[in-house]
Structure 1
Amino acid sequence: MVRLPPETGAFDYQLDEAYPPGPGVSVVVRDRSSRPPAGTYGVCYVNAFQTQPEDRATWLRERPFLVLRDAAGASVEDPDWPGEMLLDLGDRDRRTGAAAVVVGELDRCVRNGFRAVELDNLDSWTRSGGRITKADATAYAGLLVGAAHTRGLAVAQKNAAELLGTPGLPAFDFAVTEDCGAFDECEPFTRVYGARVLDVEYTDAGFDVACATGPPLRVVRRDLELAAPGAPGHVLRQCPGRS
């Protein structure tokens, strides 16, 4: 049975080294290779629309037909995250093939004790040079949402505010956003998902805007590297009065 995330308590975003959550934290997002901390609602991070840099060689060797290519035949990479190749979602067969791979990660999330999944890079079509469409992305997301729900996992919409309210949007259960305060996108998400919006801000200015939005939005200020406590550059703040 799908269990939705709690609507109270703070949350933390831990994609680097896992560490014990602070007081009042009820939701923790961790990588698929980790496990959720005891006593919290665990959200499993899966890079569902792009490849992880460490998996690049495997994709190119075992399933090169699922990697998006440019006109010269070279893999198309995310300009902001070197080594992350976009998946080719341009037809039904490729979407089905990519989903079959990601479903294996969903099964791993279940085995590791997570209750939900964050499917990252839903907006990869915006970086595809027109080779992937919004309709391709939502059709593929629909396959993954259905597979996750079958496995008892709730599913977060990750960013992509431009999809809110559009026909064909899959039945996401909650949202994980990045810098919705910095980009003035918080209210559209809370209008759709209410208290089930988890926002990560990477700047002080965006954090202040998001916190001023007020409940039901839950906000955490993190550093871009998502470093663990004690590591260089570590930043972790909760909105005053909401931790």
Structure 2
Amino acid sequence: MSSIPRRVLTAALAVSLAAASVAGVAMAADAGTDATTTAGATTTWSASAASAAAKKVTLPPVNGRFDYQLGGAYTPASSVRIVARDSTAEPATGKYNICYVNAYQTQPDDVKTWSGRNSDLILRNSKGVKVGDPEWDEYLLDTSTAAKRTRIAAIMNSWIDGCAEKGFQAIEPDNLDSWTRSKSAGKQLLTKAHNVALAQLLAAHAHGKGLAIAQKNTPQLGTAGKKTVGFDFAIAEECQMYTECAAYTNVFGRNVIEIEYTDNPKSAYTTACKKQGTTISVILRDRDVVAKGKPDYVYKSC
């Protein structure tokens, strides 16, 4: 699921950097077999091959106190060891910093990036109507072909480069599960294989920059998230609420960060603290993860 308004980037930055990196992304895409069929895309490119030339990455401290600051950056408590912020923000001093990018959907406040020459990267149904996320003011990106994935990855990789230059240690690409929201007129337009293929490109690029990369939600991946894509750890929203936490810990062990939200029964958070609060990072946040000092701000950690 999407979290909130997270990024404002200029079209000039996205387009210029994207053009510079298209060739490199295309080479990565060609590293494996990627054929789109009626059943979806198939990819034989392994995570180990993708990361063969990767720089050494550092994972978040296991069960380190976490703060989710996507709705606005603020000074974290001294006890906080891990902070996630939007790619437009600066990393928090002295913390392990995770950089958020909306990798599979558009941002409500970022129209220019996906207009003009990039307008065809927004998913459309058979009538040419843009396919939107039913819960957020965002459109799904079209990952259905290798050519479009290459172009999307070029844009995303320019943002990943910016995160690395700022000093973030990891990337959080959101909406990996967008294929589950891609139905139109009863037909599912995207597949899990399409999105996994894009994730492979992003993971290879992040690792090449020395950045760890998180699997955001998407318990449907099973072991493929780690073995096929090369995700290093997981960020799981509401996994206690929906009884999905084991899907992440079975794959990533203790390298899991869990966020529960205040608009769900509080028992989800309290149960999570009792069951796994001593082994993985578990926090409670307001749904819009607003900055500290705002009226709706809620933050708890166990």
Q: Would you call these one fold, judging by a TM-score over 0.5?
A: yes
Map of 2:271 onto structure 1: 209
2:230 to 161, 171, 176: 171
What is the CA-CA distance between 1:22 and the residue it aligns to? 1.3
Matched, 1:66 2:129: no
Partners of 1:44 and 1:109 within 8 A in 2: yes
The structure that has the greater radius of gyration is 2
The 1-side partners of 2:143 and 2:291 are apart by 34
Alignment correspondent of 2:176:
122
Distance 2:96 2:64 in 1: 11
TM-score w.r.t. length of structure 1: 0.94
Structure 2 equivalent of residue 142 of structure 1: 200
- Deviates most, 26-35 or 160-169: 160-169
CA shift, 1:227, in A, is: 1.2
CA distance in 2, matches of 1:8, 1:163: 23
Runs (5+) with no aligned partner, structure 1:
none
Letter in 2 for 1:72: K
The SS at the match of 1:122 is coil
Partner of 2:69: 14
Query: Contact 1:110–1:151 at 8 Å: present in 2 too?
Result: yes
Distance 1:92 1:210, change over 3 A: same
Q: CA deviation at 1:166?
A: 4.0
Which one-letter code corresponds to 1:61 in the other structure?
G
1:86-165 alignment runs, 5 A limit: 86-129=140-183, 130-165=188-223
Letter in 2 for 1:134: K
Contact 1:202 1:222 in 2 (8 A): yes
Unaligned runs of 5+ in 2: 1-55
Counterpart-to-counterpart distance in 1, 2:259 and 2:113: 31
- What residue number does 1:48 align with? 103
Report the residue type matching 1:162 in the other structure: Q
Q: Offset at 1:46?
A: 0.4
Greater relative CO (CA pairs within 8 A, separation 6+): 2
- SS class of match (2:115): helix
1:25 aligned to 2:83? no
Equivalent residues in 2 for 1:180-219 (5 A)?
Answer: 180-203=239-262, 204-214=266-276, 215-219=278-282
Question: Could you tell me whether the CA contact under 8 Å between 2:140 and 2:182 is conserved in 1?
Answer: yes
Whether the aligned pair in 2 keeps the contact of 1:182 and 1:209 (CA below 8 Å) is: no
CA displacement at 1:165 relative to structure 2: 2.1
Aligned residues: 238
RMSD of aligned Cα (Å): 1.3
1:200-239 pair list within 5 angstroms? 200-203=259-262, 204-214=266-276, 215-239=278-302
The whole-number CA distance in structure 2 between the counterparts of 1:192 and 1:89 is: 25
User: What CA distance in whole angstroms lies between the structure 2 residues aligned with 1:96 and 1:229?
Assistant: 38
Give the alignment's TM-score, normalised by structure 2. 0.76
Instruction: Tell me the percent identity.
Output: 44
Give the corresponding residue for 2:40: none
